[in-house]
Structure 1
Amino acid sequence: MDVFLMILSGIFLLIGLIGCLLPVLPGTPLSYVGLLILQLMQEPPFSTRFMVIWALITLAVALLDYWIPAYGTKKFGGTKYGIYGTLVGLFVGLIFFPPFGIIIGPLLGALIGEFLAGSDQKKAVKAAFGSFLGFLAGTFIKLAASAVMIYFYFTAVL
């Protein structure tokens, strides 16, 4: 039974890693499920404290993934309209245009928001670029968290 759980756990971790790059899959939460599956083994490899800490990290990474594009918009000179546009674009893109809507939605939302605020084209494009950089930063954070979980998987099963 433990071998089956190790294989299933590895599959979830692999799908989670892929999910960090494909917006349609919740990458980091799937990786965490992989660690949870390992806990079902006869001798769980991780402490309860370890699992709670990783649950909190997973939650933080998932929340940051939505917040960072708006932060990037703000840091690149975006107005409140651009920030709100980023958030609206994120959710609209996620719901209506998966999987690529989560990439394009915030970018277009920031651009439209800046135009509604009366920003010129240069400022609007700069704010939209900040949204895109925020998306890339969020992707990197998800990849890093999932990679660390994979590391713990290998230390547990080897």
Structure 2
Amino acid sequence: MDIVYWLIISVLFIVAFVGLVYPIIPSVLFLLAGFLLYGVFFSFERFHWLFWVIQGLFIVLLFVADYIANMVGIKKYGGSKAGVWGSTIGILLGPFVIPVLGILIGPFIGAIAAELIFNKRNFSDSLKIGFGSVIGFISSILTKAIIQVIMIAYFFIVVK
């Protein structure tokens, strides 16, 4: 039965990584579900208060990294808050409007549209900002993937 339990926990961790590419999937909740199911299936005994504090700090870091990477990518290319919001909306809607490629095209178009509409920027500048949003999104994925790997590695250190 242990194999089935570990399989369930592993699937939750894998879905958490899928959530990096599809932001509509709440990666953090799947990581936490994996930790909690380990406790339910095996024991919470190994999860001292320090485990939860450290994981909580990593969760905060995941959210901060996501926002900062997107904002820095857009700001570096001259974007504004409108570009950040447009990009964020594009990240959420893109995969539904344009399956597969929408995850990159969505923030790109969202940032461009927001800069054109709200800041009356020319198309060339808006295009650069859209490119910055994609760079920010990709760097966000990489940063969050590293954080999630650290969280899971720490989990395995604690439970083994």
Same fold (TM over 0.5): yes
Structure 1 residue aligned with 2:72: 71
Using a 3 Å threshold, how does the CA distance of structure 1 residues 103 and 3 change in structure 2: closer, same or farther?
same
CA shift, 1:127, in A, is 0.8
Deviations 1:46-70 (A, max 9, x none): 2122113313322441354245323
- CA distance in structure 2 between the aligned counterparts of 1:101 and 1:63, rounded to whole angstroms: 23
The runs of 5 or more residues in structure 1 that have no matched partner are: none
Given residue 112 of structure 1, which amino acid in structure 2 is its aligned partner? A
- CA distance in structure 1 between the aligned counterparts of 2:137 and 2:39, rounded to whole angstroms: 32
Using a 3 Å threshold, how does the CA distance of structure 1 residues 148 and 8 change in structure 2: closer, same or farther?
same
Whether 2:151 is the aligned partner of 1:141: answer: no
CA shift, 1:136, in A, is 0.7
Over the aligned positions, Cα root-mean-square deviation in angstroms equals 2.9
Q: How many residues align?
A: 158
- Which consecutive aligned stretches of 4+ in structure 1 deviate over 4 angstroms post-superposition? 1-4, 94-102
Structure 1 residue aligned with 2:25: 25
1:87-106 mapped onto 2 (5 Å cutoff): 87-93=88-94, 101-106=102-107
Q: Does the residue aligned with 1:77 lie in a helix, a strand or coil?
A: coil
CA shift, 1:76, in A, is 1.2
Whether 2:154 is the aligned partner of 1:152: answer: yes
- CA distance in structure 1 between the aligned counterparts of 2:92 and 2:156, rounded to whole angstroms: 35
- CA distance in structure 1 between the aligned counterparts of 2:64 and 2:96, rounded to whole angstroms: 17
Contact between 1:35 and 1:149, CA under 8 Å: does it hold in 2? no
Contact between 2:65 and 2:144, CA under 8 Å: does it hold in 1? no
Q: Report percent identity of matched pairs.
A: 28
Q: Does the residue aligned with 1:74 lie in a helix, a strand or coil?
A: helix
TM-score scaled by length of structure 1 = 0.76
Whether 2:113 is the aligned partner of 1:112: answer: yes
Using a 3 Å threshold, how does the CA distance of structure 1 residues 152 and 3 change in structure 2: closer, same or farther?
farther
CA shift, 1:133, in A, is 1.0
Using a 3 Å threshold, how does the CA distance of structure 1 residues 151 and 79 change in structure 2: closer, same or farther?
closer
1:51-70 mapped onto 2 (5 Å cutoff): 51-62=52-63, 64-66=65-67, 68-70=69-71
Deviations 1:73-96 (A, max 9, x none): 112111343234223434444776
- CA distance in structure 1 between the aligned counterparts of 2:135 and 2:99, rounded to whole angstroms: 19
Using a 3 Å threshold, how does the CA distance of structure 1 residues 19 and 57 change in structure 2: closer, same or farther?
same
